[in-house]
A = this chain, B = another copy of it.
Amino acid sequence: MDYNKKFMRKAIALSLENIKKGGGPFGAVIVKDGKIIATGVNRVTANTDPTAHAEVNVIRKAAKKLGTFDLGGCDIYTSCEPCPMCLGAVYWAHLDKMYYGNTKIDAKKIGFDDSFIYDEIDLNPNDRRVKTIQLLPEEAIVAFDEWVLSEDKVVY
């Protein structure tokens, strides 16, 4: 049996169910040692949380369940190629592999901004749609200096 397809079909089933529950058409699962340890769906509008994408949600749930911020050894199956926010979360979680169904172009066609945000990230900060201004770097750096000197920090 093809386990990869089984887990992707679960992510797709979640994306379909979520439409009926008032959420966006996105679902994801995280798998460790051949078992699903967490599932997630898009709850942006339902929870009024712009960060509540399926991948962010499933990563948060899996990390809570395993009691660690490091999901090394786990894979993610997501019904759609992640947006930059979710791709960033995949990296921060140190997931091993990522399987996806739909593409960011498919998402663009039905009205989601994923592709637009990828384009924006490629631009110089000064050319982005979100006006971006650096301020007080000489004061901000003090926290980084303190971090380096801090003896009980947890590095990740």
| Interfacial residues, chain A to chain B (CB-CB below 8 A) | 4-5, 8-9, 11-12, 15-16, 19, 22, 24-27, 44-45, 48-51, 53, 56, 59-60, 63-64, 67-71, 77, 79-81, 83-103, 106-107, 109-111, 113, 116-118, 120-122, 125, 129-137, 139-144, 146-148, 150, 152-156
Contact = CB atoms under 8 A, between A and B. Distances in A.
A48 B68 contact: yes
Given A48-B68, A85-B91, 6 more contacts: A8-B135, A11-B140, A16-B146, A51-B92, A98-B130, A101-B134
Contact of A99 (B96, B116, B135): B135
B50 A100 contact: no
A92 B144 CA distance: 28
Contacts of A4: 133, 135
A51 B90 CA distance: 9
Nearest to A42: B156
